[in-house]
Structure 1
Amino acid sequence: MDHASKTRLFKPQPTRTESTRDTTSRVAREIINSELGAVQAKTERLRAARLAREQAQRMAAAARLAK
């Protein structure tokens, strides 16, 4: 086997430092993504509450004007 075919057949194994770094990066991305999901869910919940409150205020104002 020539050198070119050896490098294509056998991938070099990452060093222990590279493996640790990859694991750390993956875990950090997972944490960030889960926190981002929580923030987006909270934003949607608060937006829905604000819109409902504004709608109730408009309805109350319309009721006062109708009397």
Structure 2
Amino acid sequence: MTKLTKTAVFTATGPLKETLLDKTTRIVRKINDEEAEVSHAKVARLRKARFEKDQADET
């Protein structure tokens, strides 16, 4: 029979409760990610418009 080590006996732990700080951090990160996505889309749209305007001005 094999010997069991202390770490092999009770390795499964349930999910930890989310603390108030964890919840706040998760929400703030989600908001920041959404705002960054909107900002990147706006910048891409403006760059495309500027490129098209420059192309039209050159011709």
- When the two structures are superposed, what TM-score results if normalisation uses the length of structure 2? 0.72
Distance 1:12 1:50 in 2: 50
1:1-67 equivalence runs, <5 A: 4=7, 5-6=9-10, 8-11=11-14, 13-14=16-17, 19-59=19-59
* Higher helix proportion (structure 1 or 2): 1
- When the two structures are superposed, what TM-score results if normalisation uses the length of structure 1? 0.64
Q: Aligned partner of 2:46: which letter?
A: L
Larger Rg: 1
Q: Cα 1:12–1:48, aligned 2, differ >3 Å: closer, same or farther?
A: closer
1:21 Cα offset (Å): 1.1
Unaligned runs of 5+ in 1: 60-67
Distance 2:47 2:23 in 1: 36
Distance 2:15 2:41 in 1: 42
Percent identity between the two aligned chains = 32
Q: How many residues align?
A: 53
1:27-47 Cα offsets, whole Å, 9 max, x none, are 111101000001100001100
Unaligned runs of 5+ in 2: 1-5
Q: Aligned partner of 2:52: which letter?
A: A
